[in-house]
Structure 1
Amino acid sequence: MTIAKKIADKIAELPKDSTFGYADLPIRSEEYVTAAKALERLQKKGIIRKLSKGIFYKPNVTVFGELKPREEDILRPYLYEDGKRIAYITGTSLYNQLNLTTQIPSLYKIASAEKRIYINRGGIKAKPVKSYAPVTDKNYRMLGFLDAMKDLNSIPDVDKKSAILIFLRRLGKMTPKELDVLIKYALLYPPRVRALLGALLEQLDVAIDIKELKNSLNPLTIYRYNLRDTTLTTQPNWNIV
């Protein structure tokens, strides 16, 4: 099978709006020059569009015209390496998805433990932040949730009363096994995150051991979240004010 045929077959399998790069195609590095010519022909036929150098997308054409891919789809190639997730979107963009803020950022933050990811292409700009654990498809949502607790004081226009309710609802939907994993990741985060998670779990009265969170904290340290008007009644037990 020719390289062009392999590429065409792979692209035919992709859903509309999806983005991809050379690493997502069934080709070897020494075949990139031939692949580039094949991709150029597919662009001329309108089968794919070029987003930026080495990044393409399969357009979705509707009765209303061609739809641009979602920004999260545009960012997707930067979040994976050799088919494995190595990064995730955090910061205000994530907190908007969690309903913690209505603001939409002009600059994305991409968290990764393996590399620093900068993007400045077209209308997409992103800067790197260090993740607290290696990122996988299984844990990136948990890491993002812990990021929200870490950044609670700095989330734009956040309503802390609503935020606590959102945190409690999300934790309430987790299984005991998932909560145990979340605690293990929380131990990698700053003490204020561990304190807030401990207070939330104590309030939910879940059937898991939270002593490890408590024992990881300095009993003399005060954690300032300004949660006086929230429903988190357990905060004094965790030195949260």
Structure 2
Amino acid sequence: MDFQKYLECNFKYEEPIFAEELKQKLNANPNTIRQYLKKATDSGVIVRYALKNGIYYKPNPNALFRSSLNLYDVIKKKYLFDQNTNRIGYITGLSFANELRLTTQNALAYEIVTNRETMRSRKVLYGKNTVFLKKPRFRVNNANYKLLQVFDLVSNFELYCDVTMEESMEKILDYLKDVKISKGRIKKMLIFLSRERSVIYLQE
């Protein structure tokens, strides 16, 4: 098998390449994959990701500065989407509150809820960067991830947000504008959550 050709045809520059992913796609044993990866690394076709074993990427020869791999891209591919680009997870906590501009606090770590996690909560290190993984209460999919994301935020609103629920409502509703539930129903759910801090059942 021409492994280097396979890498060239199936992965973009600076896209995370997981050893485990290659083992599944090529239906090869771990020793064979390790040999392929070592040869490709030695020849400079791919580069080892410095922050975590088992992750590689193709360096961009046209990069203005030294080609590298972004941690968010690793998280996105490993925890947020499956191989068919279906949603399997979402970012929560301070990072999400920052995205909605509901806080001025800076997140010191990523908090991720993902179908790929089986434990209630677990810490994973990528070099000096911390990623907290959480098992979802309900299985995450394309249709429900935004609602789950918002409900997690509202359930811990005082912990993450610097503004009141009333001040944040417009931004939250704007984030949910493409969700196929009426604004009125969403608003009622958010108000209920903010008062009761309880979990609402979501139909998948």
* Shared fold (TM-score, shorter chain, > 0.5): yes
Contact 2:4 2:40 in 1 (8 A): no
Report how many residues are paired: 185
| 2: CA distance, partners of 1:112 / 1:27 | 25
Whole-angstrom CA distance in 1 between matches of 2:82 and 2:173: 36
Q: Which has the greater radius of gyration?
A: 1
- CA distance 1:150–1:60, shift in 2 (3 Å): farther
> The residue matched to 1:126 in structure 2 has which SS?
strand
The match for 1:141 among 146, 150, 157 is 146
1:124 aligned to 2:129?
A: yes
Query: Offset at 1:195?
Result: 5.0
Q: What residue is the counterpart of 1:223 in the other structure? A: 195
Check 1:33–1:63 CA distance in 2 against 1; reply closer, same or farther (3 A cut): closer
Structure 2: which 5+ residue stretches go unaligned?
198-204
Q: CA deviation at 1:151?
A: 2.2
Partner-residue secondary structure (3-state), 1:119: strand
1:95 maps to 2:67 = no
1:20 is the counterpart of 2:17: yes
Structure 1 unaligned spans of 5+: 187-193, 200-212, 226-241
State the AA in 2 paired with 1:56. Answer: Y
Secondary structure class of the residue paired with 1:36: helix
Report what 2:202 is aligned to.
Answer: none
Paired with 2:145 and 2:5, the residues of 1 have a C-alpha distance of: 32
Distance 2:142 2:59 in 1: 25
SS of the equivalent of 1:125 reads: strand
Report deviation, 1:6.
4.3
CA drift at 1:50: 1.6
Render the CA deviation track for 1:37-79: whole Å, top value 9, x for unaligned.
2212222333322222211223335453124333221213431
User: Does the Cα contact within 8 Å between 1:149 and 1:196 map onto a contact in 2?
Assistant: no
The residue correspondences of 1:147-186 to structure 2 (distance < 5 A) are 147-156=152-161, 158-160=162-164, 162-171=167-176, 173-174=177-178, 178-179=180-181
Name the CA shift for 1:11/1:119 in 2 (closer, same or farther; >3 Å). farther
* Partner amino acid, structure 1, of 2:12: P
Higher relative contact order at CA 8 Å, sep ≥6: structure 1 or structure 2?
2
For 2:91, the aligned partner's letter is I
Change (3 A) 1:102 1:63: same
Tell me, in whole angstroms, the C-alpha distance in 2 between the residues paired with 1:170 and 1:107: 22
